[in-house]
């Protein structure tokens, strides 16, 4: 091969040692053309590498504009050999090309072969799942090499626990030059020969063969164009297949008339957590942060630099870490490396030294180091002018306007909705979540102690959001426009009331003024024709919460009040009818619906609503035809709302549990009445007395008959609650109230400490 | 017949230590009896180039032992930390025996340990008759270790009162021990270092000050990670102890060892090995050392009162004794375990009956 123009460099994706050696090798070779494993669709985007605003880690995203779920990411870090090779080529103005199989074919092939997928391994089908647009699903080609990593075989043969540490030690943590690639090639040739074809499925093998055929095709093309020193940078695994170029016929046959899809490509920011294997990225690496450190620091300063970083981190977290600690940690790491016969400490040694010296054997600080240093939290940047969907540009602008930076680390944000900036932030986050871009997640709102004007979000920007933005791009070019259209569209397709109500709720949160009228109109229409009582009931809680909390957000909730005014009386009227002839399952659902609607309605304190609602419950409680579970619940709710006095309720209880009734309905009634709330029973003396009196008043025969029913009704409570109930029952029923009544308060004595208390509380004059 | 109840590590494993020294041709730190690699081999076991088999003293993570040995080559002292019964003292003794051939420079820490025991005391008769002199000085093991460049051991460091612990702070950083009464000082010779052990579970411990912690590298010895590892530890130690204590019984049945280890692990983890049943955890620590002692008891019972073969009945009483430390709570825990787990296991009928007999 002495006269061959090709120089093959087998690398491992994202290996800093490889990148370092590769640069040396390229310097020595001075190539006139560089071929890099990567999608040809990204060719036009390579120019952006000259832009200083493009800061790795970034990923090349190739997607189908018609269906953005079909997409492939090619992530690059600064220390990725491919990245360095690309930069090398561009800086010198060399023809630099991607030569992998075009994604256009890959996507089309994956789609067309779907019916065949059934006989493949389950894990593979899962990895190709089109429903899941995350990095795990569609990504760099090597996700299967991880499961069956040839490096693992070599590593184990060399006596290491896994391929990762073997490779780290031999390649990434050393500064070998040109011999490295010859060695890698030899090793891979051997592994490929040994492994044969067994370790991949037929489908996968075919795919790999096509990729390699395409690589060879472009290599031939480059040779034909007359280049004399062609550097070929590809995954180590492919090197043996590219070493010889057989006649073009076989390759052309493989590549003939492949199906094709229209695809587009762009740069998206990537992050270290997503580069790590923990994120599910197939060609991921265990320690991106450590690799970056390897790439930047000279070998002799490596350990010191690393522990110094760790110290900074620990001090920022208020953990004790002095320079003396660091000196000892470096010494211990050196001693460990010497014991293990390594030329210098690697990540393992440094980890153990930090654990022993600095963390005093504890795990927690070490986990912090692992998250923040070993993996790292670095996030890439792309230039503003990169070709992106207009929506992406608008989102970036909005993010800037409200001063929210997309960050890969998880962050909590407490918004005070009375402040204009925070309100704008809240609107933006709600709009994005309406568009399916779940950058932020609401932790809790309103009901916390802080009051209704707080909203707590957890923010975490993930690269997959770039895909979600592209997908949402079809709704419009600005966030507001897109979200409005999306909501109106969703409203038109929503056919249940609760879903519509939730939409109304969300659009008010997102402050989409333009959507309010069409969506509430749609809600009114639906509400007017809806005959399904559980649905109507289900619509009540979200609508009431809009009414109650609307003011804080300065949204117009008058429309909602109007809808509610029509909905509540209709639901109340239809309720008794809807509760007859229910089977147990439907009764359970109805119970949940009634319970869900009861509390918000009472909280509204609207006399009209309350009256209608109580009337409905009253007729349920007295009805003989309604399902017993509902009857019991209605009796209880009325009792709680003080719409029915003790006597009436006691009568209802006794009636429902009389001997003449069938046991099953009686038990259901009791269950509904107890309403899954042992605590209320425990702490409400009148309710307790009610149940207690009833049990005490039973004749022996009756008691024996109803005992199983009572047991069944109580079985839904937690064991601790049952125990407390038992303890409560052991005490005489009337002890607590009596004790209070007996204590005659001596006013003169009670007044004595008041001056002192006033002084303590600062109330004294 | 040797009259000593328990021999020091350097005596019972003298042969192994000699063989290691002979075949050891690697670099030795000053005053070390052998190289760090040889120390690691001694602790973890292995086969030497000449075919000599070294038995493992510690079964567990290689990395921990390597870190411990590497620490002894640096300025810092070594602190072995962990719950009771995780072989802290055992590792400390063997490290000292391998590194300097002497594991006897030992301070047994108690709440009554005084400063004199760490630094030096006086022979008062001598002091009164002749005045302060080197003859009247009573050296502490620590002082002797400094003079001879050996490893000093401090057991149960956290039991020593905090003000006495402070003695160690400057001693370990300055590596010198002044004797103002004589106007001299002892400066540590190369090779000196200290190994302390401490447990982090017990009540009534004196928390180490951060200044003292900074003088130590801390290695936490964990409970065995897998059941197999624990069975190996228990069987091995019981066999060795049987030899040391002259127990004439058969080697303990592996089945019984496995059962005891399993019971201990399940109670410690609060659930059965198959993860199907949740269990209450007893107040006792249930370390490997406890398992060893249960088996040892069983072997002794079988040897002296039975036919020499250890059976369920022989371990039942010590098993219950090890688990039930609190007569009320633990008894309940044990009863539950007995009725819900032991009873249900088909091949554990004999153990169930034996345990029932003790109720």
Tell whether B40 lies on the interface with A, counting CB pairs under 8 A.
yes
**Residues of A with Cβ-Cβ distance to B40 under 8 angstroms:** 339
Does a structural domain hold residue A710? no
Its sign, for the CA torsion A745, A749, A755, A758, is: negative
> How confident is residue A63, by pLDDT bands cut at 50, 70 and 90?
confident
B217: closest chain A residue by CA: A357
Q: Read off the pLDDT of each residue in A498-524 and give the average, rounded to a whole number.
A: 80
What's the mean pLDDT when you consider all of chain A? 77
Query: Full-prediction pTM beyond 0.90?
Result: no
Enclosing domain of residue A232: 6-279
Share above pLDDT 90 across residues of chain A, in percent, rounded to a whole number = 0
Q: For residue A700, how many other CB atoms are within 10 A of its CB?
A: 7
Place of tokens 């107890």: A674
Residue A401 lies in a domain: yes
The sign of the dihedral angle between the CA atoms of A618, A621, A622, A623 is positive
Does position B146 have pLDDT exceeding 90, yes or no?
yes
Q: Would you say residue A75 lies in a domain?
A: yes
Q: Give residue B151's pLDDT.
A: 94
Those residues with Cβ within 8 angstroms of residue A612's Cβ, 6 or more apart along the chain or in another chain: A568, A569, A572, A573
Residue B315 CB-density burial (10 A; 0-12 exposed, 13-18 middle, 19+ buried): buried
Q: Flag whether B214 is in a domain.
A: yes
Q: Which domain-ending residue is among B183, B204, B220?
A: B220
Which residue in A320, A335, A340 is closest to B74 by CB distance?
A335
Q: Among B181, B199, B220, which residue terminates a domain?
A: B220
B75 & B214 share domain: yes
**CB-based contact B75 A353, cutoff 8 Å:** no
* B54 within domain boundaries: yes
CA-based radius of gyration for chain B:
23
Mean local confidence (pLDDT), A486-498:
81
Query: A117 and A38 in one domain?
Result: yes
Region of poorest pLDDT, from A224-228, B140-144, B247-251, B354-358: B247-251
- B214 has a chain A CB within 8 A of its CB: yes
A/B interface, count of CB pairs below 8 Å: 54
Out of B220, B243, B272, pick the residue that ends a domain: B220
What is the rounded CA–CA span in Å between residue A541 and residue B113?
69
In this structure, the answer to whether residues A124 and A250 fall within a common structural domain is yes
Token digits of residue A514: 């333009």
**ipTM, interface predicted TM-score of the complex:** 0.76
Rounded Cα–Cα distance for residues A522 and A503 (Å): 11
The pLDDT of residue B202 is above 80 = no
Q: Are residues B237 and B215 in the same domain?
A: no
Inspect the interface and report whether the beta carbons of A332 and B36 lie closer than 8 Å. no
The residues with which A486 forms a beta bridge, in sequence order, are none
Per-residue pLDDT tens for B313-322? 888 888 888 8
Using the predicted structure, report yes or no on whether residue A141 has a pLDDT greater than 80.
no
Neighbours of A44 (CB within 10 A): 10
Nearest by CB to B67, which of A322, A336, A360?
A336
Most confident range, picked from A405-409, A613-617, B284-288: A613-617
Q: Give the A-side interface with B, CB within 8 Å.
A: 320, 322, 324-325, 328, 331-332, 335-336, 338-340, 348, 352-353, 356-357, 360-362
* Alpha-carbon span A44 to A96, nearest angstrom: 11
| Interaxial angle between packed helices B288-305 and B312-323, expressed in degrees from 0 to 180 and rounded to the nearest 10 | 140
Kindly state whether B38 is in contact with chain A, defined as any CB-CB distance less than 8 angstroms. no
Number of domains in chain B: 2
Residue A176 has pLDDT above 70, yes or no: no
In this prediction, residue A68 carries a pLDDT of 64
| B243 and B180 in a common domain | no
pLDDT for A757 equals: 86
From CA B90, how far away is CA B58, in angstroms rounded? 8
Q: What residue numbers bound the domain in which B239 lies?
A: 227-357
Q: How far is CA B288 from CA A184, B229, B263, in A?
A: 46, 10, 12
Q: What would the pLDDT profile of A425-481 be if each residue is shown by its tens digit?
A: 888 888 888 888 888 888 765 444 445 677 888 888 877 787 778 777 777 778 888
Q: Are residues A331 and A225 in the same domain?
A: no
Q: Cβ contacts (< 8 Å) between B73 and chain A: which residues? A: 335
Q: How many CB atoms lie within 10 A of CB A33?
A: 22
Q: Is residue B282 part of a domain?
A: yes
Q: Which of B46, B67, B158, B212 to mutate to test the interface with A (most CBs of A within 10 A)?
A: B67
Which chain A residues touch B67 with a CB distance below 8 Å? 332, 336, 352-353, 356
Please, are residues A70 and A130 in contact by the beta-carbon 8 Å criterion?
A: yes
Decide: A49 and A96 in contact? Cβ < 8 Å.
no
Residues B212 and B266 in one domain: no
Question: What is the count of structural domains for chain A?
Answer: 3
Q: Do both B70 and B133 map to the same domain?
A: yes
Nearest CA in chain B to A357: B217
User: How far, in Å, CA of A72 to CA of A75, rounded?
Assistant: 10
B340: which DSSP letter? I
Lowest-confidence region among A552-556, A701-705, B89-93? A552-556
Tell me which chain A residues have a C-beta less than 8 angstroms from the C-beta of B218: 356-357, 360-361
CA distance A295 to A84: 11
Least confident of A556-565, B36-45, B64-73: A556-565
Distance from CA of A149 to the nearest CA of B (A): 25
Contacts of A324 in chain B (CB under 8 A): 214
SS3 label, residue A233: strand
Same domain, A106 and A238: yes
Claim to verify: residue B311 and residue B210 sit in the same structural domain: no
Distance CA A128, CA A123 (A): 9
Give how far B25 is from chain A: nearest CA, Å.
14
Residue B122 has a pLDDT of 93
**From B63, B75, B220, residue closest to A361, measured CB to CB:** B220
Looking up residue B141, the CATH number of its domain turns out to be 3.40.50.300
3-state SS of A452-503? Answer: CCEEEEEECCCCHHHHHHHHHHHHCCCHHHHHHHHHHHHHHHCCCHHHHHHH
User: Would the CB atoms of A356 and B71 count as touching at under 8 Å?
Assistant: yes
Alpha helices in A114-271 (DSSP H): 122-127, 143-147, 150-157, 163-167, 179-195, 202-224, 239-243, 248-255
- pLDDT the model gives residue B120: 92
B1: in domain: no
Residue with tokens 């929210």: A404
DSSP A371-391: IIIII---B-B--TTS---HH
Structure tokens at B81: 């930390």
Nearest chain B residue to A348 by CA distance is B63
What's the pLDDT at A139? 38
For residue A573, being part of any structural domain is answered with no
> Are A105 and A229 part of one and the same domain?
yes
B69 touches chain A (CB under 8 A): yes
A15 lies in the same domain as A68: yes
Nearest to A97 by CA among A29, A50, A36: A36
With b for 16 or more beta-carbon neighbours within 10 A and e for fewer, the A571-584 pattern comes to bbebbbebbeebee
In the block, tokens 């009704």 appear at A713
Q: Tens digits of per-residue pLDDT, A515-546? A: 877 887 888 777 777 677 778 888 888 778 77
The rounded distance, in Å, linking the Cα atoms of B295 and B236 is 11
Can you say whether the dihedral through the CA atoms of B156, B157, B162, B165 is positive or negative?
positive
Best mutation target, A356, A363, A365, A719, to test chain B (most B CBs within 10 A): A356
Residue B2 in any domain: the answer is no
Q: Closest Cα to residue A567, out of A534, A589, A549, A540?
A: A540
Predicted local confidence at residue A137, as pLDDT:
34
Same-domain status, B253 and B196 = no
At B203-261, the pLDDT tens digits run 667 888 888 888 888 888 888 888 888 888 888 887 777 766 666 556 667 888 888 88
Eight-class DSSP state of B341: I
DSSP lists the bridge partners of residue B271 as: B278
pLDDT(A121) > 70: no
What's the confidence (pLDDT) of residue B125? 93
Domain co-membership, A116 together with A165? yes
Task: Quote the pLDDT of residue A117.
Answer: 32
B218 in contact with A at a CB cutoff of 8 Å? yes
> Are residues B231 and B204 part of one domain?
no
Last residue of a domain, one of A250, A279, A308: A279
Same domain, B53 and B136: yes
My answer on whether B244 and B293 are in the same domain is yes
My answer on whether A44 and A123 are in the same domain is: yes
Token pair, residue A160, equals 């290491």
Residue A410 in this model has a pLDDT that exceeds 70: yes
Distance CA B198, CA A529 (A): 75
Per residue in A681-722, pLDDT (tens digit) is 777 777 787 777 777 777 777 788 778 877 877 777 888 888
CA angle in degrees (0–180, nearest 5) for A80-A85-A91: 125
Kindly report which listed range (A106-120, A329-343, A569-583) carries the lowest average pLDDT score: A106-120
First to last CA, chain B: 41
Q: Is the peptide bond before A57 cis (omega within 30 degrees of 0)?
A: yes
Share of chain B above pLDDT 90, in %: 27
List CB contacts (< 8 A) between A336 and chain B: 66-67, 70
Minimal Cβ distance to B218: which of A322, A340, A361: A361
Question: Which of chain A's residues have a Cβ under 8 Å away from the Cβ of B174?
Answer: none
Shortest alpha-carbon distance between residue B26 and chain A (Å): 10
């Amino acid at each position: 091969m002495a006269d061959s123009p090709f120089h093959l460099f087998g690398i491992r994706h994202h290996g800093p040692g490889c990148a370092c050696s590769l640069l040396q090798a390229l310097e020595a070779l001075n190539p006139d053309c560089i071929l890099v494993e990567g999608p040809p669709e990204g060719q036009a985007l390579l120019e952006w590498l000259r832009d200083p605003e493009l800061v790795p880690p970034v990923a090349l995203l190739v997607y189908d504009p018609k269906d953005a779920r079909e997409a492939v990411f090619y992530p690059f870090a600064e220390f990725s050999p491919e990245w360095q090779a690309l930069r090398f080529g561009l800086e010198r103005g060399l023809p630099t090309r991607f030569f992998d199989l075009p994604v256009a074919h890959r996507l089309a092939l994956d789609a067309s072969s779907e019916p065949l997928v059934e006989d493949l391994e389950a894990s593979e089908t899962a990895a190709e799942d089109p429903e899941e647009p995350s990095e795990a699903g569609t990504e760099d080609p090597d996700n299967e090499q991880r499961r069956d990593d040839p490096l693992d075989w070599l590593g184990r043969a060399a006596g290491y626990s896994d391929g990762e540490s073997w490779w780290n030690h031999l390649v990434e943590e050393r500064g070998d030059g040109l011999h490295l690639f010859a060695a890698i090639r030899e090793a891979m040739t051997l592994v490929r020969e040994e492994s044969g074809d067994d370790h991949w499925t037929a489908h996968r093998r075919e795919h790999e063969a096509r990729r390699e055929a395409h690589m060879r095709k472009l290599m031939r093309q480059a040779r034909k164009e007359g280049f004399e020193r062609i550097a070929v940078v590809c995954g180590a695994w492919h090197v043996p297949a590219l070493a010889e170029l057989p006649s073009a016929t076989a390759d052309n046959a493989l590549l003939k008339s492949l199906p094709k899809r229209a695809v587009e490509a762009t740069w998206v920011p990537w992050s270290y957590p997503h580069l790590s294997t923990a994120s599910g990225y197939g060609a991921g690496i265990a320690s991106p942060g450590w690799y970056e450190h390897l790439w930047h620091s000279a070998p002799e300063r490596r350990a010191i630099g690393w522990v110094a970083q760790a110290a900074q981190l620990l001090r920022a977290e208020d953990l004790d870490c002095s320079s003396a600690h660091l000196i000892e940690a470096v010494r211990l790491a050196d001693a460990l490396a010497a014991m293990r016969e390594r030329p210098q400490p690697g990540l393992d040694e440094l980890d153990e030294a930090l654990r022993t010296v600095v963390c005093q054997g504890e795990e927690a600080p070490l986990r912090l180091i692992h998250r923040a240093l070993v993996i790292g939290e670095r996030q890439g940047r792309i230039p503003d002018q990169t070709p992106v969907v207009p929506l992406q540009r608008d989102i970036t602008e909005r993010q800037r306007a409200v001063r929210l930076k997309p960050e890969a680390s998880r962050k909590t944000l407490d918004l005070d909705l009375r402040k204009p900036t925070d309100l704008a932030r809240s609107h933006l986050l709600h709009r994005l979540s309406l568009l399916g871009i779940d950058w932020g997640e609401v932790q809790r709102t309103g009901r916390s102690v802080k009051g209704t004007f707080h909203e707590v979000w957890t923010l975490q920007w993930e690269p997959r959001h770039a895909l979600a933005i592209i997908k949402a791009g079809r709704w419009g070019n600005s966030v507001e426009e897109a979200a409005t259209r999306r909501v109106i569209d969703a409203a038109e397709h929503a056919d249940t009331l609760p879903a519509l109500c939730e939409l109304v709720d969300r659009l008010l949160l997102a402050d989409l003024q333009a959507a309010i009228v069409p969506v509430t109109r749609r809600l009114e229409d639906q509400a007017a024709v809806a005959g399904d009582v559980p649905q109507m009931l289900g619509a009540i809680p979200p609508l009431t919460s809009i009414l109650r909390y609307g003011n804080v957000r300065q949204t117009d909730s008058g429309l909602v009040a109007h809808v509610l005014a029509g909905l509540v009386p209709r639901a109340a009227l239809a309720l008794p009818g809807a509760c007859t002839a229910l089977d147990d399952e439907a009764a359970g659902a109805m119970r949940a619906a009634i319970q869900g609607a009861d509390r918000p309605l009472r909280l509204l304190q609207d006399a009209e609503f309350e009256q209608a609602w109580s009337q409905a419950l009253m007729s349920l409680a007295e009805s003989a035809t309604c399902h017993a579970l509902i009857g019991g619940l209605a009796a209880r709710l009325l009792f709680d709302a003080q719409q029915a006095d003790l006597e009436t309720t006691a009568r209802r209880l006794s009636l429902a549990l009389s001997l003449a009734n069938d046991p099953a309905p009686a038990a259901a009634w009791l269950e509904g009445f107890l309403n899954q709330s042992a605590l209320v029973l425990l702490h409400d003396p009148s309710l307790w007395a009610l149940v207690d009196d009833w049990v005490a008043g039973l004749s022996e025969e009756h008691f024996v008959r109803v005992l199983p029913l009572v047991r069944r009704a109580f079985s839904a409570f937690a064991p601790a609650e049952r125990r407390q109930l038992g303890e409560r029952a052991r005490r005489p029923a009337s002890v607590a109230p009596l004790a209070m009544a007996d204590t005659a308060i001596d006013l003169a004595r009670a007044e004595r400490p008041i001056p002192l208390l006033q002084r303590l509380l600062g109330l004294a004059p | 017949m040797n009259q000593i109840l328990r021999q020091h590590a350097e005596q019972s494993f003298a042969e192994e230590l000699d063989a290691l020294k002979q075949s050891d041709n690697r670099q030795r730190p000053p005053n070390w009896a052998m190289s760090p690699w040889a120390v690691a081999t001694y602790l973890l076991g292995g086969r030497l180039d000449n075919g000599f088999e070294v038995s493992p003293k510690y079964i567990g993570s290689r990395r921990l032992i390597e870190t411990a040995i590497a620490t002894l080559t640096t300025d810092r002292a070594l602190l072995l930390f962990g719950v009771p019964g995780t072989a802290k003292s055992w590792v400390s003794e063997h490290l000292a025996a391998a590194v300097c051939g002497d594991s006897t420079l030992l301070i047994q820490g108690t709440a009554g340990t005084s400063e004199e025991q760490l630094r030096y005391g006086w022979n008062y008769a001598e002091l009164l008759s002749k005045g302060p002199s080197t003859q009247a000085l009573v050296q502490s093991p620590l002082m002797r270790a400094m003079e001879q460049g050996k490893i000093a051991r401090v057991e149960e460091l956290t039991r020593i009162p905090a003000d006495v612990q402070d003695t160690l702070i400057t001693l370990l950083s300055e590596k010198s021990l002044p004797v103002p009464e004589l106007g001299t000082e002892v400066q540590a010779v190369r090779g000196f270092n200290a190994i302390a052990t401490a447990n982090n579970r017990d009540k009534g411990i004196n928390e180490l000050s951060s200044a003292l912690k900074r003088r130590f590298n801390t290695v936490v010895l964990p409970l065995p990670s897998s059941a197999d590892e624990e069975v190996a530890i228990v069987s091995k130690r019981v066999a060795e102890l049987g030899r040391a204590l002259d127990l004439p019984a058969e080697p303990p049945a592996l089945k019984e060892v496995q059962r005891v280890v399993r019971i201990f692990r399940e109670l410690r983890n609060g659930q059965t090995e198959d993860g199907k049943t949740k269990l209450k955890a007893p107040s006792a620590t249930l370390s490997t050392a406890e398992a060893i002692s249960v088996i040892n008891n069983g072997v002794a019972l079988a040897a002296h009162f039975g036919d020499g073969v250890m059976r369920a009945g022989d371990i039942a009483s010590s098993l219950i004794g090890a688990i039930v430390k609190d007569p009320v709570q633990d008894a309940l825990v044990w009863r539950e375990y007995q009725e819900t787990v032991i009873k249900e296991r088909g091949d554990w009928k004999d153990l169930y009956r034996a345990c029932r007999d003790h109720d």
